[in-house]
Structure 1
Amino acid sequence: MTTSALDQALTESSLRPLPELAAELLRSLDAPARLGAHLRAVHDVAWSLTDRLGRARPDLDFDTTATLFGAATHDIGKTIHPEELTRPGRRHEAAGRDLLISYGVPADLARFAGGHGSWDGSADLEELLVSLADQIWKGVRVRDLEDLVAAQLGGAPSLLLDDILRDLVTDADQRLAFQYSHPV
Protein backbone atom coordinates (compact mmCIF):
# COMPACT_ATOMS: atom_id res chain seq x y z
CA MET A 1 0.00 0.00 0.00
CA THR A 2 1.40 3.39 -0.95
CA THR A 3 1.36 6.26 1.46
CA SER A 4 -0.55 9.30 0.25
CA ALA A 5 1.10 12.70 0.06
CA LEU A 6 -1.25 13.89 2.84
CA ASP A 7 -0.27 10.98 5.08
CA GLN A 8 3.38 11.83 4.52
CA ALA A 9 2.73 15.47 5.47
CA LEU A 10 0.92 14.31 8.60
CA THR A 11 3.58 11.84 9.73
CA GLU A 12 7.05 12.70 8.44
CA SER A 13 9.49 15.13 10.07
CA SER A 14 10.13 15.90 13.69
CA LEU A 15 7.12 18.21 13.99
CA ARG A 16 4.61 17.15 16.59
CA PRO A 17 1.62 15.22 15.25
CA LEU A 18 -1.75 16.90 14.94
CA PRO A 19 -4.52 15.97 17.36
CA GLU A 20 -6.12 12.79 16.01
CA LEU A 21 -9.48 14.45 15.31
CA ALA A 22 -7.76 17.12 13.20
CA ALA A 23 -5.81 14.51 11.24
CA GLU A 24 -8.98 12.45 10.70
CA LEU A 25 -10.84 15.50 9.41
CA LEU A 26 -8.04 16.32 6.97
CA ARG A 27 -8.03 12.75 5.69
CA SER A 28 -11.81 12.61 5.32
CA LEU A 29 -11.72 15.90 3.39
CA ASP A 30 -8.86 14.64 1.19
CA ALA A 31 -6.98 17.81 2.10
CA PRO A 32 -4.00 18.88 0.03
CA ALA A 33 -0.68 17.71 1.48
CA ARG A 34 0.57 21.29 1.63
CA LEU A 35 -2.32 22.18 3.93
CA GLY A 36 -1.55 19.23 6.20
CA ALA A 37 2.09 20.30 6.37
CA HIS A 38 1.13 23.90 7.12
CA LEU A 39 -1.25 22.90 9.90
CA ARG A 40 1.43 20.68 11.45
CA ALA A 41 3.94 23.54 11.38
CA VAL A 42 1.52 25.99 13.02
CA HIS A 43 0.39 23.37 15.55
CA ASP A 44 4.02 22.61 16.43
CA VAL A 45 4.71 26.30 17.07
CA ALA A 46 1.50 26.61 19.11
CA TRP A 47 2.57 23.58 21.16
CA SER A 48 5.96 25.15 21.95
CA LEU A 49 4.38 28.53 22.65
CA THR A 50 1.73 27.19 25.04
CA ASP A 51 4.19 24.85 26.73
CA ARG A 52 6.71 27.58 27.44
CA LEU A 53 4.06 30.09 28.53
CA GLY A 54 2.41 27.52 30.78
CA ARG A 55 5.66 26.52 32.45
CA ALA A 56 6.84 30.11 32.92
CA ARG A 57 3.44 31.44 33.98
CA PRO A 58 1.45 28.67 35.71
CA ASP A 59 -0.95 31.38 36.89
CA LEU A 60 -2.17 31.98 33.32
CA ASP A 61 -5.66 30.72 32.68
CA PHE A 62 -5.91 29.45 29.11
CA ASP A 63 -7.13 26.28 27.44
CA THR A 64 -4.11 24.59 25.92
CA THR A 65 -6.16 21.81 24.30
CA ALA A 66 -8.46 24.29 22.57
CA THR A 67 -5.50 26.40 21.43
CA LEU A 68 -3.75 23.38 19.95
CA PHE A 69 -6.90 22.17 18.20
CA GLY A 70 -7.41 25.69 16.85
CA ALA A 71 -3.87 25.80 15.51
CA ALA A 72 -4.32 22.33 13.97
CA THR A 73 -7.50 23.30 12.11
CA HIS A 74 -7.34 27.07 11.62
CA ASP A 75 -7.00 26.85 7.82
CA ILE A 76 -9.23 23.83 7.20
CA GLY A 77 -11.51 26.03 5.09
CA LYS A 78 -8.80 25.98 2.44
CA THR A 79 -10.12 22.54 1.52
CA ILE A 80 -13.15 24.46 0.20
CA HIS A 81 -11.11 27.40 -1.12
CA PRO A 82 -7.88 25.73 -2.29
CA GLU A 83 -6.92 28.82 -4.31
CA GLU A 84 -6.12 30.42 -0.94
CA LEU A 85 -3.30 27.91 -0.46
CA THR A 86 -1.23 29.93 -2.93
CA ARG A 87 -2.92 33.34 -2.92
CA PRO A 88 -4.14 35.65 -0.19
CA GLY A 89 -7.77 35.38 0.76
CA ARG A 90 -10.12 35.20 3.69
CA ARG A 91 -13.04 33.21 2.33
CA HIS A 92 -11.58 30.08 3.93
CA GLU A 93 -12.14 31.49 7.43
CA ALA A 94 -15.96 31.42 7.62
CA ALA A 95 -15.99 28.34 5.40
CA GLY A 96 -13.64 26.56 7.80
CA ARG A 97 -15.71 27.45 10.85
CA ASP A 98 -18.89 26.23 9.14
CA LEU A 99 -17.16 23.07 7.89
CA LEU A 100 -15.94 22.15 11.35
CA ILE A 101 -19.40 22.72 12.83
CA SER A 102 -20.95 20.55 10.09
CA TYR A 103 -18.57 17.75 11.18
CA GLY A 104 -19.78 18.05 14.77
CA VAL A 105 -16.95 20.16 16.14
CA PRO A 106 -18.27 22.43 18.90
CA ALA A 107 -18.55 26.11 17.96
CA ASP A 108 -16.09 27.09 20.71
CA LEU A 109 -13.41 25.07 18.87
CA ALA A 110 -14.55 25.92 15.33
CA ARG A 111 -14.20 29.64 16.12
CA PHE A 112 -10.44 29.50 15.57
CA ALA A 113 -10.93 28.72 11.88
CA GLY A 114 -13.25 31.69 11.57
CA GLY A 115 -11.15 34.33 13.27
CA HIS A 116 -7.44 33.56 13.06
CA GLY A 117 -6.75 36.07 10.29
CA SER A 118 -7.81 39.13 12.22
CA TRP A 119 -7.62 40.08 15.82
CA ASP A 120 -8.71 42.91 18.01
CA GLY A 121 -9.13 43.74 21.64
CA SER A 122 -12.08 41.35 21.96
CA ALA A 123 -10.08 38.20 21.16
CA ASP A 124 -9.27 35.94 24.09
CA LEU A 125 -5.80 34.58 24.83
CA GLU A 126 -6.44 31.27 23.03
CA GLU A 127 -7.51 33.06 19.82
CA LEU A 128 -4.52 35.37 20.01
CA LEU A 129 -2.12 32.45 20.52
CA VAL A 130 -3.47 30.69 17.42
CA SER A 131 -3.09 33.91 15.41
CA LEU A 132 0.41 34.38 16.80
CA ALA A 133 1.45 30.82 15.97
CA ASP A 134 0.10 31.35 12.44
CA GLN A 135 2.56 34.22 12.03
CA ILE A 136 5.57 32.95 13.98
CA TRP A 137 5.75 29.57 12.21
CA LYS A 138 7.10 31.40 9.14
CA GLY A 139 9.28 33.81 11.10
CA VAL A 140 6.98 36.84 10.95
CA ARG A 141 6.71 39.09 14.00
CA VAL A 142 3.59 41.29 14.14
CA ARG A 143 3.93 43.97 16.79
CA ASP A 144 0.21 44.77 17.15
CA LEU A 145 -0.60 41.10 17.69
CA GLU A 146 2.27 40.65 20.13
CA ASP A 147 1.07 43.70 22.07
CA LEU A 148 -2.41 42.16 22.38
CA VAL A 149 -0.90 38.91 23.67
CA ALA A 150 1.33 40.85 26.08
CA ALA A 151 -1.74 42.69 27.38
CA GLN A 152 -3.39 39.32 28.07
CA LEU A 153 -0.21 38.29 29.91
CA GLY A 154 -0.57 41.22 32.25
CA GLY A 155 0.48 44.43 30.62
CA ALA A 156 3.49 45.98 28.99
CA PRO A 157 5.44 44.18 26.28
CA SER A 158 6.62 41.00 27.86
CA LEU A 159 10.29 39.99 27.89
CA LEU A 160 9.12 36.42 28.41
CA LEU A 161 6.99 36.55 25.25
CA ASP A 162 9.79 38.21 23.30
CA ASP A 163 12.28 35.51 24.37
CA ILE A 164 9.88 32.73 23.38
CA LEU A 165 9.11 34.27 19.99
CA ARG A 166 12.75 34.98 19.25
CA ASP A 167 13.52 31.30 19.88
CA LEU A 168 10.60 30.10 17.76
CA VAL A 169 11.47 32.16 14.69
CA THR A 170 14.91 30.55 14.50
CA ASP A 171 13.41 27.36 13.04
CA ALA A 172 11.13 29.13 10.56
CA ASP A 173 13.24 28.24 7.53
CA GLN A 174 13.00 24.52 8.32
CA ARG A 175 9.22 24.76 8.79
CA LEU A 176 8.84 26.67 5.52
CA ALA A 177 10.97 24.09 3.71
CA PHE A 178 8.83 21.30 5.18
CA GLN A 179 5.60 22.96 4.06
CA TYR A 180 6.85 23.73 0.56
CA SER A 181 8.16 20.19 0.10
CA HIS A 182 4.53 19.04 -0.09
CA PRO A 183 2.30 19.49 -3.12
CA VAL A 184 -0.67 21.81 -3.27
Structure 2
Amino acid sequence: MKVVIATGNPGKLKEFKRILSPYGVEVLSQSQAGVQLDVEETGTTFEENALLKAQAVFAATGLPAIADDSGLVVDALDGAPGVYTARYAGEHATDDENIQKLLANMQGVGERSARFVSAICYVWGEEKSLTTRGECEGSIGFTKRGDGGFGYDPIFMVGEKSFAQLSAEEKDAISHRGKALRLFLEAFGRLMEEK
Protein backbone atom coordinates (compact mmCIF):
# COMPACT_ATOMS: atom_id res chain seq x y z
CA MET A 1 0.00 0.00 0.00
CA LYS A 2 1.28 3.47 -0.89
CA VAL A 3 0.72 6.51 1.29
CA VAL A 4 1.96 10.06 0.92
CA ILE A 5 3.34 11.69 4.04
CA ALA A 6 2.10 15.27 4.25
CA THR A 7 5.30 16.88 5.50
CA GLY A 8 8.33 18.70 4.23
CA ASN A 9 10.24 17.81 7.39
CA PRO A 10 12.94 15.24 6.53
CA GLY A 11 13.20 14.13 10.17
CA LYS A 12 9.48 13.29 10.33
CA LEU A 13 9.59 11.56 6.94
CA LYS A 14 12.48 9.38 8.12
CA GLU A 15 10.58 8.42 11.30
CA PHE A 16 7.43 7.55 9.33
CA LYS A 17 9.41 5.33 6.95
CA ARG A 18 11.19 3.59 9.83
CA ILE A 19 7.96 2.94 11.77
CA LEU A 20 5.60 2.10 8.87
CA SER A 21 7.78 0.07 6.48
CA PRO A 22 7.73 -3.11 8.64
CA TYR A 23 3.94 -3.10 8.14
CA GLY A 24 4.21 -3.23 4.36
CA VAL A 25 3.40 0.45 3.88
CA GLU A 26 5.32 2.16 1.06
CA VAL A 27 5.95 5.69 2.24
CA LEU A 28 6.18 8.44 -0.38
CA SER A 29 7.33 11.98 0.22
CA GLN A 30 5.26 14.78 -1.28
CA SER A 31 7.91 15.33 -3.97
CA GLN A 32 7.87 11.61 -4.88
CA ALA A 33 4.09 11.97 -5.29
CA GLY A 34 4.57 15.01 -7.54
CA VAL A 35 3.37 17.72 -5.17
CA GLN A 36 4.95 20.18 -2.81
CA LEU A 37 2.32 21.70 -0.55
CA ASP A 38 2.82 23.97 2.40
CA VAL A 39 -0.60 23.84 4.01
CA GLU A 40 -1.54 26.75 6.25
CA GLU A 41 -2.08 25.40 9.74
CA THR A 42 -5.15 27.34 10.82
CA GLY A 43 -6.44 24.76 13.31
CA THR A 44 -6.44 25.36 17.05
CA THR A 45 -5.56 21.76 17.90
CA PHE A 46 -2.98 19.25 16.67
CA GLU A 47 -5.84 17.08 15.38
CA GLU A 48 -7.36 19.90 13.30
CA ASN A 49 -4.01 20.77 11.71
CA ALA A 50 -3.20 17.13 10.91
CA LEU A 51 -6.59 16.76 9.17
CA LEU A 52 -6.05 19.95 7.12
CA LYS A 53 -2.67 18.70 5.89
CA ALA A 54 -3.80 15.15 5.09
CA GLN A 55 -6.91 16.37 3.23
CA ALA A 56 -4.83 18.79 1.13
CA VAL A 57 -2.31 16.13 0.09
CA PHE A 58 -5.05 13.58 -0.65
CA ALA A 59 -6.89 16.16 -2.80
CA ALA A 60 -3.68 16.99 -4.70
CA THR A 61 -2.46 13.41 -5.30
CA GLY A 62 -5.52 11.16 -5.15
CA LEU A 63 -3.45 8.85 -2.94
CA PRO A 64 -4.09 8.05 0.71
CA ALA A 65 -2.27 10.60 2.86
CA ILE A 66 -0.95 10.64 6.39
CA ALA A 67 -0.21 13.85 8.22
CA ASP A 68 1.22 14.43 11.64
CA ASP A 69 0.83 17.60 13.59
CA SER A 70 2.96 17.50 16.64
CA GLY A 71 4.41 19.84 19.15
CA LEU A 72 5.74 20.56 22.55
CA VAL A 73 3.40 21.51 25.39
CA VAL A 74 5.12 23.14 28.38
CA ASP A 75 3.05 23.39 31.56
CA ALA A 76 4.83 26.46 32.98
CA LEU A 77 4.16 28.33 29.69
CA ASP A 78 0.41 27.59 29.73
CA GLY A 79 0.82 24.97 27.00
CA ALA A 80 3.12 26.97 24.71
CA PRO A 81 4.56 26.55 22.18
CA GLY A 82 1.73 24.08 21.40
CA VAL A 83 0.42 24.26 17.82
CA TYR A 84 3.05 26.96 17.16
CA THR A 85 5.97 24.64 18.04
CA ALA A 86 7.65 24.75 14.61
CA ARG A 87 7.34 28.53 14.34
CA TYR A 88 7.77 29.50 18.00
CA ALA A 89 10.63 31.92 17.26
CA GLY A 90 9.10 33.11 13.97
CA GLU A 91 7.67 31.80 10.71
CA HIS A 92 10.97 30.48 9.29
CA ALA A 93 12.83 29.91 12.56
CA THR A 94 15.47 27.20 12.76
CA ASP A 95 15.36 24.43 15.34
CA ASP A 96 18.14 26.19 17.23
CA GLU A 97 16.29 29.54 17.26
CA ASN A 98 13.16 27.82 18.61
CA ILE A 99 15.20 26.08 21.31
CA GLN A 100 16.94 29.31 22.33
CA LYS A 101 13.62 31.14 22.66
CA LEU A 102 12.15 28.34 24.75
CA LEU A 103 15.19 28.18 27.04
CA ALA A 104 15.07 31.98 27.45
CA ASN A 105 11.37 31.81 28.38
CA MET A 106 12.14 29.06 30.90
CA GLN A 107 14.89 30.96 32.73
CA GLY A 108 14.23 30.89 36.46
CA VAL A 109 11.38 28.41 36.07
CA GLY A 110 11.62 25.49 38.48
CA GLU A 111 8.64 23.41 37.31
CA ARG A 112 9.77 22.15 33.91
CA SER A 113 7.22 19.42 33.11
CA ALA A 114 6.30 19.11 29.46
CA ARG A 115 5.05 16.65 26.90
CA PHE A 116 5.41 16.02 23.23
CA VAL A 117 2.04 15.48 21.51
CA SER A 118 1.43 13.95 18.09
CA ALA A 119 -1.85 13.74 16.20
CA ILE A 120 -1.76 11.43 13.17
CA CYS A 121 -4.47 11.74 10.56
CA TYR A 122 -5.03 9.33 7.68
CA VAL A 123 -7.27 10.43 4.80
CA TRP A 124 -8.21 7.95 2.08
CA GLY A 125 -11.33 9.50 0.54
CA GLU A 126 -13.82 12.30 0.67
CA GLU A 127 -15.10 12.49 4.25
CA LYS A 128 -12.96 9.44 5.15
CA SER A 129 -10.41 10.02 7.87
CA LEU A 130 -8.92 8.38 10.93
CA THR A 131 -7.08 10.29 13.67
CA THR A 132 -5.01 9.06 16.60
CA ARG A 133 -3.05 10.89 19.30
CA GLY A 134 0.07 9.98 21.26
CA GLU A 135 1.83 11.77 24.09
CA CYS A 136 5.22 11.44 25.77
CA GLU A 137 5.73 12.99 29.20
CA GLY A 138 9.07 14.56 30.05
CA SER A 139 10.65 17.83 31.09
CA ILE A 140 12.60 20.71 29.61
CA GLY A 141 16.34 20.50 30.19
CA PHE A 142 18.57 23.46 30.95
CA THR A 143 20.98 22.97 28.04
CA LYS A 144 21.10 21.03 24.80
CA ARG A 145 22.24 17.42 25.16
CA GLY A 146 22.94 14.93 22.37
CA ASP A 147 23.15 15.26 18.62
CA GLY A 148 20.43 12.89 17.38
CA GLY A 149 16.84 13.63 16.49
CA PHE A 150 15.53 17.01 15.38
CA GLY A 151 13.48 19.95 16.61
CA TYR A 152 13.40 20.27 20.39
CA ASP A 153 14.86 16.78 20.97
CA PRO A 154 18.13 18.07 22.53
CA ILE A 155 16.26 19.77 25.40
CA PHE A 156 13.35 17.35 25.91
CA MET A 157 14.34 15.11 28.80
CA VAL A 158 12.93 11.67 29.54
CA GLY A 159 14.59 10.54 32.74
CA GLU A 160 18.32 11.26 32.55
CA LYS A 161 18.50 11.45 28.75
CA SER A 162 17.28 13.88 26.13
CA PHE A 163 15.43 12.61 23.07
CA ALA A 164 18.58 13.54 21.12
CA GLN A 165 20.61 11.06 23.20
CA LEU A 166 18.31 8.09 22.52
CA SER A 167 18.81 5.60 19.71
CA ALA A 168 16.13 5.58 17.02
CA GLU A 169 14.71 2.36 18.49
CA GLU A 170 14.61 3.76 22.03
CA LYS A 171 12.92 6.94 20.83
CA ASP A 172 10.34 5.11 18.69
CA ALA A 173 9.39 2.92 21.67
CA ILE A 174 8.40 5.88 23.88
CA SER A 175 7.88 8.87 21.58
CA HIS A 176 4.60 10.66 21.00
CA ARG A 177 4.78 9.89 17.27
CA GLY A 178 5.63 6.23 17.88
CA LYS A 179 2.64 5.90 20.23
CA ALA A 180 0.28 7.72 17.83
CA LEU A 181 1.46 5.58 14.91
CA ARG A 182 1.00 2.33 16.84
CA LEU A 183 -2.57 3.41 17.73
CA PHE A 184 -3.07 4.34 14.08
CA LEU A 185 -1.83 0.94 12.90
CA GLU A 186 -4.23 -0.84 15.29
CA ALA A 187 -7.17 1.24 14.06
CA PHE A 188 -6.03 0.92 10.43
CA GLY A 189 -5.91 -2.88 10.78
CA ARG A 190 -9.49 -2.91 12.07
CA LEU A 191 -10.54 -0.61 9.23
CA MET A 192 -9.05 -2.98 6.64
CA GLU A 193 -10.85 -5.96 8.22
CA GLU A 194 -14.19 -4.16 7.90
CA LYS A 195 -13.81 -3.65 4.15
TM over 0.5: no
Which structure has the highest strand share of the two? 2
Q: Give TM-score scaled by structure 2 length.
A: 0.27
Higher relative contact order (CA 8 A, sep 6+): 1
Q: Give TM-score scaled by structure 1 length.
A: 0.28
Q: Which of structures 1 and 2 has the bigger CA Rg?
A: 2
Which structure has the highest helix share of the two? 1
